[in-house]
Chains A and B, each alone.
Chain A
Amino acid sequence: MKSAGLIGMSALLLTASLAGCGASSSSAPPTKNIKDITIGTLYAKSGAFATSSMPEYSGLKFWASQVNKTGGTYVKALHKKVPVKIVAYNDQSSATTATSLYSQLITVNHVNILVADFGSVLTSVAVPVAQEKKMLLFDQTGTGASFFTPSNPYVVLTSLPTSGLWPTSLAQYLIHKGYSRIAIVYATNDFDQSQDQTLVRKLKAAHITPVYNNGVPTSTSSYSVLLNNMAHTKPQAVIELGYPNNDIAFMQALKASGDHFNMVFTIFPGQLPQLFTKTLGASSINNTYTYPAPPLLSFSHVNYGLNTTQFESAYKKATGQSTNFLSIAGYNTGLIIQKTLSTANSLNQLSLRHAVSRFSGSLSTLDGSFKINSEGAQIGETLPVAKISTNSKGQLSIKFVTSPNS
């Protein structure tokens, strides 16, 4: 009986992490019958990525509501404005569930536009699905360098540069400061691993070999032992590359350890400052370094859509929520889709992709300059490094230590 329970338990735990897969394939409706543009996407209402996915989805929905208020988005292929409709499913932060849902959006819902969920983990499963179904994937924030290859024309990164480029400014700063003892801990996923590889390569080119460079599972929630091991190497700079949950756990362990380093760097306080100050307290991120992203990095001069200040005001009025980088990323994705539809001569997916290439480099949005390379990877936006300062009232400010325009 106990062994039956054991097998049953194992089966259920397995079932808990698996979702149904497979979907029948059928063709999309003819262009002339299109009454609205359907945008298919996924969001994570629960799980490790909910913190980031939900504001991103909210930003996309905000864009759709803004567009629909004006009668829809202009579709050049139809020579008219068409309302936008979002079809979205909850992938619960599970890449397995996301795989089948992406297929479902394409083959069952016949969406016109496919948009990936937040981040590299949930985008990594969308890339091969979109390529196989020959559907252009609007990748919002999945910056893993491996997604962009010469053989795949079906992906476009809308926000943030590909993660292989992220550490450029960070490496420059570390080298400039003359730090020779650098400790790095990174989460083992496409997003963080590709950053680690780039950072180590650039440091080694400057004859600096990190004194500690280890990967940890993305699910890691306790960094105390790892931090102790890092401290043993007596680093001047400690770099933690992870997702928001990793960064929070790391900062919490750092605070409890009482260790002090000349420089501590984490990624997400620059994107989700409210989350960090609420969860950890403002003092926990004081004097640490990060990549400041919009709205901390403000763009007042744009040639498409709302600028940062206008967005903050309109978004707050419409949703009641404060702006963070991910809501801006979601809205920015909408802007890129809008521009694509107004540029493409047909709704054929490759035609959409060619349209993106045509306006690449000429678009300035609240997320910065939109420019992609031949593989669809974003190269227009920059990620400077900044130092965070918080005052006694918990208000946060940043000081750039590398140029925001580099």
Chain B
Amino acid sequence: MFAYSLISGILFGIFFGFMALGLNLIFGVMEMVNLAHGDFVVLGGYVGITALNSWHINPLVSLIFALLLFFVVGLGLFFPLVPRLSHSRDPEMLSLILFFGLSQVLEALMEIKFGVNPESLPLSVFGNSSWHFLGQSYQISWVVSALISLLMILLTYVFLYYTPMGRAVRAVMGNREEARATGLPVKRTSAIIFAIGIALAAMSGVLSPLMIGSIDPTSGLGLTTIAFAIVVIGSLGNPLGSVLGGLVYGISLMLMQTYLSSWSVLVPYLLLLIIVLVRPSGLLGKGVRHV
């Protein structure tokens, strides 16, 4: 049971790391916590479910559709919302309120469109075979979801570290004012990262029914909480921290489900408390940045 829980935890951890990646990117560049993050994950989930049920489109295709659609949605949301916030007296705090409001609006709209019942993708959508490892069988949908998540994390890493735009993003993450002073297009960089963050959330959402069982319009808040915990565990503003945070969360969750199942709901909050008390800057954090 330990080996199964550990491997399942790693597969789930990679997925959860991917799910939290968009939240971390947006926070890293804009220092704004997107409280509607979980709702974009859920919206992505509905894209995958609707595409399969209505048009028999495989979720692998829906992933690309979600990426493109929500990149545009992200850009559409950025310009009317974020620049105004950036110029306000307390952008961080106001962003919490604004994105909380956006979260409520999205939840209400999803309820109108999709109803209140939980919905899911068939777990056999990628085939009925299993992955056998160390004498255990794992659902192929978990393995495919983890591999896609890993691929997307690697692509994000390559984007951040090996492209001119990625270098600009990291410069803005390091110090927004210095980046502006050196002539970097901070606003354009922020817009693209915001759109990428939303698109990544929606992409992870397409896979989410396969990993978390089902989604409904109210799932967003819980997913935001998990993503936030993962980001804090890894390191706020460090995308690679999401991966580490995701692994810590996923493995802890699975071990807790196996050995102390009644308490498994506490995992994100316990990890959050421990990290904030022991290492406030997160596992990969290099200390608190003072502005």
Chain A residues close to B by CB (< 8 Å):
1-6, 8-9, 12-13, 16-17, 45-48, 50-51, 54, 92-93, 185, 188, 214-217, 219-226, 228-229, 232, 245, 248-249, 252-253, 255-258, 275, 278-279, 281
Stretch at the interface among B143-151, B185-193, B217-225, B241-249: B217-225
B289 near A2 with CB under 8 A, answer: yes
Chain B residue at minimal CB-CB distance from A256: B123
In the bound complex, do residue B289 and residue A279 qualify as a contact, i.e. CB atoms below 8 Å apart? no
Please determine whether B261 and A216 come into contact, CB atoms closer than 8 angstroms.
yes
The 6 sampled A-B contact pairs (Cβ below 8 Å) are A2-B31, A45-B116, A222-B213, A249-B213, A255-B124, A275-B117
Q: Give the Cβ gap from B270 to chain A, nearest Cβ, in Å.
A: 13
Q: Kindly list chain A residues whose C-beta atoms are within 8 Å of the C-beta of B216.
A: 48, 50, 245
* Given A2-B236, A8-B96, CB of A225 within 8 Å of CB of B214: no
User: In the docked arrangement, what's the CA distance between A216 and B5, Å?
Assistant: 16
Q: Is the CB of A51 within 8 A of B116?
A: yes
CB distance from B93 to the nearest CB of A (A): 5
**Hey, which chain A residues are within 8 Å of B237, CB to CB?**
2
The reply to whether A279 and B93 contact each other, CB–CB distance below 8 Å, is no
- Shortest beta-carbon distance, B171 to chain A, in Å? 18
Q: Smallest Cβ distance from A120 to chain B, in angstroms? A: 17
Residues of chain B within 8 A (CB-CB) of A2 are 31, 92, 236-237, 288-289
Q: Are B289 and A248 in contact (CB under 8 A)?
A: no
Neighbouring A residues of B225 by C-beta, 8 Å: 13
A217 touches B262 (CB 8 A): yes
Q: How far in angstroms is the closest Cβ of chain B from A243?
A: 11
The reply to whether B1 and A229 form a contact with Cβ atoms under 8 Å apart is yes
- B208 nearest CB neighbor, chain A only: A221
Instruction: Knowing A221-B213, A245-B214, A249-B213 are in contact, say whether A5-B221 is a contact too (CB < 8 A).
Output: no
Counting CB contacts under 8 A, is B8 at the interface?
yes
- Contacts known (A5-B92, A219-B265, A226-B261); A248 close to B4, Cβ less than 8 A: no
Q: Mark B19-57, 1 if CB is under 8 A from A, else 0.
A: 000000001000111010000000000000000000000
Interface size classification for chain B: 35 or more
CB distance from B149 to the nearest CB of A (A): 16
B76 at interface (Cβ–Cβ under 8 A)?
A: no
- Cα A188 to Cα B260 with chains together (Å): 12
A169 to B225, CA, bound (A): 41
C-alpha gap A6/B277 in the complex (Å):
13
Question: What is the interface of chain A mostly: helix, strand, loop, or mixed?
Answer: helix
CB of A396, distance to nearest CB on chain B (Å): 18
A43 CA / B217 CA spacing, docked (Å)? 17
Rounded to whole angstroms, the CA-CA distance of A279 and B228 in the bound complex is: 30
Contact B93 A5 (CB under 8 A): yes
Q: Which residue of B lies closest to A216 (CB)?
A: B261
* Min C-beta distance of B146 to chain A, whole Å: 13
Residues of B123-181 at the interface with A, using a CB-CB cut-off of 8 Å, are 123-124, 128, 130, 136-137, 139, 141-142
Assembled-state Cα–Cα distance A204/B125 (Å) = 41
CB-defined contacts of A47 to chain B, threshold 8 Å:
116, 218
* CB atoms of A256 and B124 under 8 A apart: yes
| Minimum CB–CB distance for B36 against chain A, Å | 12
12 further interface pairs, Cβ-Cβ under 8 Å (given A2-B289, A228-B1, A252-B213): A2-B31, A5-B27, A6-B276, A220-B264, A221-B212, A222-B211, A224-B8, A225-B8, A248-B214, A252-B120, A255-B124, A281-B122
Check A216 against B214 for contact (C-beta < 8 Å): no
User: Is B288 within 8 A of A3, CB to CB?
Assistant: yes
Measured in the bound complex, the distance between the Cα atoms of B254 and A51 in whole Å is 28
Contact partners of A281 in chain B: CB under 8 A: 122
Write out the residue numbers on chain B whose beta carbons fall within 8 Å of the beta carbon of A45: 111, 116
Is there an interface contact between B93 and A219, defined as CB atoms closer than 8 Å? no
Contact of B123 with A252 in the complex, beta carbons under 8 Å: yes
Answer whether A46 and B117 are a contact pair too, CB < 8 Å, given A9-B228, A219-B222, A224-B8. no
Q: Does B97 contact A (CB under 8 A)?
A: yes
Q: Does B83 touch A at the CB level, under 8 Å?
A: no
Q: Which A residues are in CB contact (< 8 Å) with B100?
A: 12, 16
Nearest to B263 among chain A residues (CB) is A217
In the complex, what residues of B have CB within 8 A of residue A8's CB?
33, 92-93, 96
Q: How far is the CB of A245 from chain B (nearest CB, A)?
A: 5
Q: In the assembled complex, which residues on chain A have CB atoms less than 8 Å from the CB atom of B289?
A: 2
With a CB–CB cut-off of 8 A, which chain A residues contact B95?
A: 5
- In Å, the complex CA distance between A378 and B71 comes to 55
Partner of A46, one of B90, B111, B128, B276: B111
Q: Which residues of A contact B291 (CB under 8 A)?
A: 1
Within 8 A of A (CB), among B251-273: 254, 257-258, 261-262, 264-265
Q: Is the CB of B130 within 8 A of A258?
A: yes
Indicate whether B202 reaches chain A with its CB closer than 8 angstroms.
no
A225 and B257 in contact, given A5-B92, A216-B264 (Cβ under 8 angstroms)? yes
Residues of A near B96 (CB, < 8 A) are 5, 8-9, 12
> How long is the Cα–Cα vector from A2 to B28 in the complex, in angstroms?
10
Give the interface centre of A2, A47, A222, A228 by most chain B CB atoms within 10 Å: A2
Complex Cα–Cα for A248 and B232 (A): 32
Q: A4-B92, A51-B116 are in contact. Are A249 and B4 (CB under 8 A)?
A: no
A253: B residues at CB distance < 8 A: 123, 213
CB pair A279–B118 under 8 Å, yes or no, is: yes
Among the listed A4, A16, A54, A255, which residue makes an inter-chain contact with B116, where contact means beta carbons less than 8 Å apart?
A54
- Pairwise interchain contact A279-B116, C-beta atoms closer than 8 A: no
**Cα distance A360–B138 when bound, in Å?**
53
Tell me how far the C-beta of B132 lies from the nearest C-beta in chain A, rounded to whole angstroms. Answer: 12
- The answer for the CA separation of A92 and B116 in the assembled complex, in Å, is 11
Most B CB atoms within 10 A — which of A48, A217, A221?
A221
| Cβ–Cβ < 8 Å partners of A46 in chain B | 107, 111, 116, 217-218
Q: How far is the CA of A252 from the CA of B118 in the complex (A)?
A: 12
CB distance from B97 to the nearest CB of A (A): 7
The residue on A at minimum CB distance from B117 is A51
